[in-house]
């Protein structure tokens, strides 16, 4: 009889612990995730200038190609160079940038439109090129990792970017990683 009581009490304790654990699991708030973001701070023009192979003001002429590949989407735009500030630029060249999946002509978007604007035909932008060819030779294209509307006018952009190019960043313009906490959702 004592053995039966011990088994019954032990079984109840196990059941109570299991119930409490299940209740906590179903009512506990989601904590989100932490992931690393690597790359330079493209919110600082001195870093953009220091880490880019080429910087120029361009006018977008035509979106020539949209493609999705491996979960990513890319938009290629023919641009006309208005003024190069760093590096060599051909008169006209193809520039590719990453965009959100599911785009259609005139309806492309990026994750950070303030520092990575979608190049729209007829508008002027400051672009910074990380890789690829800026010569404009047939069959070549450049990878723009930074694009923002040229809102200062050509003279204002020239002055601003010449200063950014001439002034190295105070902190290292490295591609170090930092942890970002993403909310649950």
* 50 in a structural domain: yes
Q: Is 36 within the bounds of a domain?
A: no
- Stated pTM of the model: 0.70
In a domain, 80, yes or no: yes
125-151 pLDDT, tens digit each = 999 999 999 999 999 999 999 999 999
Instruction: Note the pLDDT tens digit of each residue in 113-129.
Output: 777 899 999 999 999 99
CATH of the domain at 126: 2.40.50.120
Q: What residues in the chain have per-residue pLDDT under 50? A: 9, 12-13, 16-17, 20-30, 32-36, 173-175, 178-180, 182, 185
Query: What is the predicted pLDDT for the residue at 28?
Result: 43
Q: Looking at the domain assignment, is residue 114 inside a domain?
A: yes
The 3-state DSSP class for residue 123 equals: coil
Range of the domain at 79: 45-166
CA dihedral 43, 45, 50, 56 (to 10 degrees): 120
User: What domain count does the chain have?
Assistant: 1
Q: Is residue 11 part of a domain?
A: no
pLDDT for the residue numbered 183: 52
Distance CA 101, CA 158 (A): 33
């Amino acid at each position: 009889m004592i053995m039966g009581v011990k088994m019954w009490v032990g079984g109840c304790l196990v059941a109570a612990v299991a119930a409490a654990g299940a209740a906590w699991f179903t009512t506990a708030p989601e904590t989100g995730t932490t992931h690393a973001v690597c790359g330079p701070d493209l919110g600082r023009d001195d870093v953009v200038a220091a880490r880019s192979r080429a910087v120029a003001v361009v006018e977008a002429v035509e979106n020539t190609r949209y493609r999705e590949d491996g979960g990513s989407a890319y938009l290629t735009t023919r641009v006309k160079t208005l003024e190069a500030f760093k590096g060599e630029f051909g008169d006209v060249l193809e520039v590719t940038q990453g965009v959100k999946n599911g785009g259609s002509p005139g309806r492309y978007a990026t994750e950070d439109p303030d520092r990575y604007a979608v190049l729209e035909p007829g508008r002027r932008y400051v672009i910074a090129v990380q890789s690829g060819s800026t010569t404009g030779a047939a069959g070549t294209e450049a990878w723009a990792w930074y694009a923002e509307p040229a809102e200062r006018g050509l003279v204002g952009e020239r002055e601003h970017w010449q200063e950014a190019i001439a002034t190295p960043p105070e902190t290292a313009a490295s591609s170090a990683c930092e942890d970002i906490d993403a909310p649950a959702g």
